[in-house]
Amino acid sequence: MNDTIQSNLDTAIKAMDIVKQYGFGSSTITVLNNISITINKGEIISIVGPSGAGKSTLLNIIGCLDTFQHGYVQVLDQDISPFSYDELATFRNKHIGFIFQMHNLMPEFTALENTMMPLLIRRVSKKEAKHKAFELLENFKMADRAGHKPAELSGGECQRVAVARALITQPDIILADEPTGNLDRKNSDILIELLFNDCKDKGSTAMVVTHDQSIAAKTQRIITLIDGMIQSETMN
């Protein structure tokens, strides 16, 4: 680990001086410009800002889905900067749960089977995975829809299944990119309440990219990005 990185048992995520660019020479585009951010364990924060501000890019870098040119990222006391592709994938599977705007459920599988999938990938027994998935769907008020495939579910129901799938491994960190972007207000409120309550119960850290100010207002801290730089941080 880089000697400049300070270990802190209370810190879940620490990114320092992150620079992310695309292209070369005169066509270089800087998406993130010396971004530094620290998130404590158990903290629920939101990232807001206009389209193109770099919100999703920052989320993907912290989530081990994207690389960067300068700086370092420490997640759960691990410097992920030098990790190989396989090491990033292993770390991601073990510690991070993702929720995206599109639910990305597998259409050929039921809600229950989709929710089970991360545990099956970890080689958890089918019996145990099924039990945990059904229990989680019950908590999300989806038990009566467990046997239905995505095409038979509403948008709000599909997104609840997607959240359950992200949470089933009890990840240390939840990263959500516009998780309610395709939902109406009622379903958006239901989903966020379920997500944040689960994070609080489990002590998970959550980072939510959103354009919805009502969601941001429910987080402990709001970080505003503009043109690849942090413009402000506000405590709620």
Residue 83 belongs to a domain? yes
CATH code of the domain in which 209 resides:
3.40.50.300
For the cut 80, the answer to whether the pLDDT of residue 225 exceeds it is yes
* Per-residue pLDDT tens over the stretch 147-157: 999 999 999 99
**Among candidate residues 174, 2, 14, the one with its CA nearest the CA of residue 96:** 174
3-state SS assignment for residue 232 = strand
Is residue 6 included in any domain, yes or no?
Answer: no
CB 219 within 8 Å of CB 46: yes
| H/E element, 97 | strand 96-100
Q: Is the pTM value of this prediction over 0.85?
A: yes
Banded pLDDT at 102 (limits 50, 70, 90): confident
Which domain, by its residues, includes 23? 11-235
* Position 4 in a domain: no
The residue with tokens 């929710």 is: 115
| CB-based contact 70:48 (threshold 8 Å) | no
What are 127-152's pLDDT values in tens digits? 999 999 999 999 888 999 999 999 99
- Domain total in the chain: 1
Q: Is residue 5 part of a domain?
A: no
In a domain, 99, yes or no: yes
Task: Please indicate, yes or no, if residue 21 is contained in any of the structural domains.
Answer: yes
Res. 9: pLDDT tops 70: no
Does a structural domain hold residue 222? Answer: yes
The pLDDT tens digits of the residues spanning 13-46 come to 999 999 999 988 888 999 999 999 999 999 999 9
Measured at the CA of 68, the angle between CA 67 and CA 70, to 5 degrees, comes to 150
Give domain status of residue 1, yes or no.
no
